[in-house]
Structure 1
Amino acid sequence: MADRDIVTPARPHALYAAHGYSPAVRAGGLLFVSGQVGAREDGSPEPELEAQVRLAFDNLRGILDAAGLTFDDVVDATLMSTVPDEAFPLAIRLLPDLWNGKAPPALTAIGVTWLSGFLFEIKVVATLRETNGG
C-alpha cells in the first residue's frame, strides 16, 4: 500500500467524525479531497443555496490550507448537485475567483438525486508541492 496521510482542516465540521471518513488523503504526490458540502461546524447544511455553495468552497479552502496548498494546485474538480440548473451556474460564476486567473482545472458537473440533505458538493484532486513532500 502506498504511503498516505490524512489532512484535516484547522476547523473541521462534525460530518467527518460522524461518518468516519477523512477530509483529505495525501498519497502518491496528490491530495485527494473528500467531497465538500456547505456544512456548518455542527455538520448541518447552510440553508440557502448560494451560502451553501460558498461555504463548500470555504470548507475546501480550509483543507487546501491545511495541506499547504491553494486552489492553484487543484488539477481536477467534480461538482455535484441535487439542483444542478441552479447550483452549477452559480458555482461556475464563482470558480474564476478561486483560480486567481490561472489555468482552471479539469471539471466535471453531475446532477444527482441525493446529497444527504445538501444541495451542492465539490470534490477535488490537487498536486502536492515538492516542499510538502509531494
Structure 2
Amino acid sequence: MAEHPTSRAPEPVGAYPYTRRVGNLLFLSGVGPRQRGQRGIPGVEVDEDGNILQYDFESQCHAVFQNVRYILEEAGAAWDDLVDVTVFLTNMKDDFPAYNRLYAEYFATAHPCRTTLEINALPTPIAIELKCIAVLRD
C-alpha cells in the first residue's frame, strides 16, 4: 500500500492522504472544490463566522472535477480509470440538476458506477465532495 501526495490539489483538511493504493485499485479520500494555497472556495461567499451567504454550485463542480483529475494524474491514473464515484451534495433539491448535467459532460467517455447522497454538511463550507475509486493499469 502506498500513499500518493499531490502538489496541485488542495491540501487535505485533516490527517489523511488523498490516495491509497491497494493492489491495482486507487482509493481517493473525499475531494472538494478548494484550491491549493487559497483560503477561499470557488464560487462561495461566506460571512465573518464562516456561514455561507451564497454559492455558485457549478463553479464548485468544475473545481472538484479538476481536483480529482490532478490527484489521479499525480498517482499515475487517468480520468477514464475511475470505476466508482460517490458524490455528497448538501442541497440535492437545488443542485442535483446542474450536477447531473455537468457529470454527463465530464464523464461522456468514462462511465464509472455512481452513487449520489444528500448530507447535512461537509467539513468546510462547500456544497459538493467526491469519493472515488480508480483502477491502475500498470
TM-score using structure 2 length = 0.81
In the alignment, which residue of structure 2 is the partner of 1:29? 24
- Structure 1 residue 52, shift from structure 2 partner: 1.0
Alpha carbons 2:61, 2:102 under 8 Å: kept = no
Task: Give the CA deviation at 1:124.
Answer: 0.6
1:71 & 1:91 partners in 2: Cα distance?
17
Following superposition, the deviation at residue 113 of structure 1 comes to: 0.0
Q: Which residue of 2 aligns with 1:97?
A: 105
The match for 1:13 is: 10
Indicate the residue corresponding to 2:118 in structure 1: 111
CA–CA distance in structure 1, aligned partners of residues 30 and 115 of structure 2: 13
2:9–2:35 contact (8 Å) kept in structure 1: no
Q: Is the 2:27–2:132 contact (alpha carbons within 8 Å) kept by the matching residues of 1?
A: yes
Q: Cα deviation per residue 1:8-38 (whole Å; 9 max; x = unaligned)?
A: 2232323x2x411111111121000011111
Change (3 A) 1:43 1:77: farther
- 1:64 touches 1:71 (CA, 8 Å); kept in 2? yes
Unaligned runs of 5+ in 1: none
Percentage of identical aligned residues = 29
- Cα distance change on mapping 1:49 and 1:26 into 2, 3 Å: same
2:59 matched to which residue of 1?
A: 51
* RMSD (CA atoms): 1.6
Equivalent AA in structure 1 for residue 72 of structure 2: L
The farther-off stretch of 30-39 and 80-89 is 80-89
Q: What amino acid does structure 1 have at the position aligned with 2:28?
A: V
Structure 2 SS opposite 1:9: coil
Displacement of 1:77: 0.5
Note the C-alpha offset of 1:118: 1.1
Consecutive aligned runs of 4 or more in structure 1 exceeding 3 Å deviation: none
